[in-house]
Amino acid sequence: MKPLLIIGGATGTGKSDLAVACAKKLDGEIISSDSMQIYRGLDIGTAKIRAEEMQGVPHYMIDVVDPQSTFTAAEYKAQAARAIDEILQKGKVPIICGGTGLYINAVLYDLSFSGEYDPALRETLLKEAAERGKQYMHDKLRSLDPETADKLHVNDEKRVIRAIEKALTGGKREDDFAKAKYPYLMFLTDLPREKMYDNINRRVDKMIKQGLKQEVLTLLQSGIGFDKQCMQAIAYKEWAPYLNGEMTEEETVELIKKNTRNYAKRQITWFKQYKDAFKVSVSEKTLEENANMICETYNGAL
């Protein structure tokens, strides 16, 4: 079985172009692991790859969900697994590309929850999470089981609470990251923080020129309110206070930039869990050089 090629990293670091370049060299097809590019109609704010940028390389898991719908990591896992099987049956290389680390984990590992639990304890922890927040619960887990806390992202609330339950009740800890379901090689795009922030700021300015504000208004006019999952995406949710008269358009744009930069920092933290990943220096080498390095490393592992 051909291993998966995974290209991850923070937003604004050139993952999509690198994945396309590698796909052309390896005869691969790309599965997006972006939690918002799955939605139809959210194009500008998600920096969704355009048809011409795909350069004829098939892409999966883009524009597969109606914006009225919610979409879970479990649903992504099932659909991505089918795409992987389809690509492998063609004799091609499956390339997973994106910055939603939870989606990548969902494909690689068994993230299901099983076993007995104390309903009263669960209710208490859920109430505590609602009152104190995700960071508090993650810190609580760290005080009980630092090894598991290192493997769980602060936003992965369900698994954090389950891990706390196990720690408090003496349950056996499930090491979800012990063995991946697929063989894989992972490459993480790396860019100096200042350069990454500059790329993010310029990308947001480009979105505004492309008509991001109108895209948001069009979604709202079609009945997609800010209560929908897709409208909680960065570059969309920030327009709510603007439309309520609480912020100027200039302030809204700056908030999008700030939230995107903060998200990029969280992505960098998330991907640190992959100790076997190769670093790809985006600033020191050209796209062609990095694509060649990745492909040579991948072929050498076969």
Domain boundaries, the chain: 4-109+191-301, 119-169
Residue 115 — very low, low, confident or very high, per pLDDT cuts 50/70/90? very low
Q: Which long-range contacts (CB under 8 A, 24 or more apart) does 61-66 make?
A: 61/31, 61/32, 61/33, 61/34, 61/37, 62/32, 62/34, 62/37, 62/38, 63/37, 63/38, 63/39, 64/38, 64/40, 65/38, 65/39, 65/40, 65/230, 66/39, 66/40
Secondary structure (3-state) at 70: coil
Class of domain 4-109+191-301: alpha beta
Residue 113 — very low, low, confident or very high, per pLDDT cuts 50/70/90? very low
How large is the average pLDDT for residues 106-110?
83
Closest CA to 185 of 62, 300, 265: 300
Res 6 pLDDT > 70: yes
How large is the average pLDDT for residues 207-231?
96
Measured CA to CA, the distance from residue 254 to residue 73 in angstroms comes to: 30
How large is the average pLDDT for residues 237-259?
97
The letter for the amino acid at 270 is: W
Question: What is the chain's mean pLDDT, rounded?
Answer: 90
Residue 220 — very low, low, confident or very high, per pLDDT cuts 50/70/90? very high
Q: Which residue has the higher pLDDT, 203 or 139?
A: 203
The letter for the amino acid at 269 is: T
DSSP string for residues in 112-143: ---S---HHHHHHHHHHHHHH-HHHHHHHHHH
Write phi, then psi, for 275 (nearest 5 degrees): -70, -20
Name every residue whose Cβ is closer than 8 Å to that of residue 116 and which is 6 or more positions away in sequence. Answer: 171
